[in-house]
Amino acid sequence: MACVLRRSRHEVTLWAREPEVVESINARHVNELFLSSVPLFRFVSINFITQDDQSGFDVAMNEQKTRARASWKGSGDKSVQEIYGRIASDLQTTFRGYEALTLEARIAPKFYRRTPIVTLSDSSKRDLVEDLGFADRMVHVVPPGIDPRFTPGGVRSDRPLVVAVGRLVPVKRFEVLIPILVELKRRVPDLEAVIVGEGYRREDLEAMVAEAGAQEWLTLPGRIGDDALVDLYRRAWVLASVSSGEGWGMTITEAAACATPAVATRITGHVDAIVEGTTGLLGDGPDEVTDALERVLRDPDLRRRLSDAAQRHAERFTWDATALGTLSVLAADAVRRRGPAAT
């Protein structure tokens, strides 16, 4: 998105812990402070940018993605917050869940009550407004873009292939997906499955696969390259996601762009990424997800219809559109802060 804004002749500076210079974008190192010694905030890092660093900028945008992170704005409050998902989602199933929920529901809204919020989906906006108390008028929905490399092509696997992609962490609930796949294998004997990603739950998940005796047909290859991921999406018959919380569900849309439909849990984010019954199927629990996966694998006409619709639906999600939508929020906030004279 920063590259799109830069090509539109806007000056863009990217702060990151490990900044890279691309397309003439200014890149600077962000200061980060970990609060591991403070009990309530032992999983929090604070990013801060000094007033000198922010001087001369109309708007600062802080990107926040499903981890407890605060940003200190050194030049007043000229900021737009971009939220991809609920802060506590990754931690709600662990011992840190209460602390994450406290930070998310009680502390963060107070800091950002005057800050425009950009989020990815209508369902995420409902969460932010109804559950966390953000003002409806301050929350703007701008759907994500996907990389143009995700396109149809190649050859489908000659055996039923289910693919799942994501970090191996509790919120993705791969410990729920593995039993679903084991049951699905009982119903569809020639099934193969691949779970792509890395994370601290790897050993636990590998143990589950071994205990089920599924090593021959259910693999966890870890993180794979971009080209390999595109090829896997193209070969898959269906993508599966059983996350407990998402801002959108990017793997669903990436797979859709490769003409692969999805079956997923009916949660925030997924209900926006999937047009139910048209680009994929949703389920309210493991049994429904298992049944939906079986339907897609066994019914070639359904699978073809979902695949075609998924590809057409994914074409609307471009980084140009995302950058334009975000820029509209940025520009409106910059004008508001400058006052009537700016118009």
pLDDT tens, the chain, 343 aa long: 666 666 666 666 666 656 565 655 555 555 444 444 444 444 444 444 444 455 555 656 556 543 333 333 333 444 555 554 444 444 344 444 445 555 566 666 666 677 888 888 899 888 888 888 888 998 999 999 999 999 999 999 999 999 999 999 999 999 999 999 999 999 999 999 999 999 999 999 999 999 999 999 999 999 999 999 999 999 999 999 999 988 899 999 999 999 999 999 999 999 999 999 999 999 999 999 999 999 999 999 999 999 999 999 999 999 889 888 988 888 887 777 776 655 5
Report the pLDDT value the prediction gives residue 16, as an integer from 0 to 100. 63
- Tell me the C-alpha distance between 285 and 264, whole Å: 9
pTM of the model: 0.77
Return the ∠ at Cα 207 (arms to 206 and 209), rounded to 5°.
65
Beta strand segments in 106-191, E: 117-119, 139-141, 161-165
Q: Is residue 164 within 8 Å of 241, Cβ to Cβ?
A: yes
Neighbours of 165 (CB within 10 A): 23
Q: How far is CA 166 from the centre of its chain?
A: 9
By three-state DSSP, how is residue 37 classified?
coil
**Residue in the structure block whose two tokens are 């490769």:** 258
Quote the pLDDT of residue 329.
87
What is the residue whose two structure tokens read 């896997």? 232
Q: Tell me, what's the pLDDT at 110? A: 67
Contact 324, 142 (CB under 8 A): no
Burial code (b: 16+ CB inside 10 Å, e: under 16) for 309-342 equals: bbbebbeebbbeebbebbbebbeebeeeeeeeee
Question: What pLDDT score does 303 carry?
Answer: 98
Q: How far apart are CA 70 and CA 108, in angstroms?
A: 8
CA dist., res. 87 & res. 226, Å (int): 27
Asked whether the beta carbons of 148 and 157 are under 8 A apart, the reply is no
CA 172 – CA 217 distance, rounded (Å): 21
Q: How far is CA 27 from the centre of its chain?
A: 24
- Cβ atoms of 259 and 283 closer than 8 Å: no
Residue found under tokens 């600062």: 60
Q: How many angstroms separate the CA atoms of 107 and 295, rounded?
A: 44
| Cβ-contact 273, 247 below 8 angstroms | no
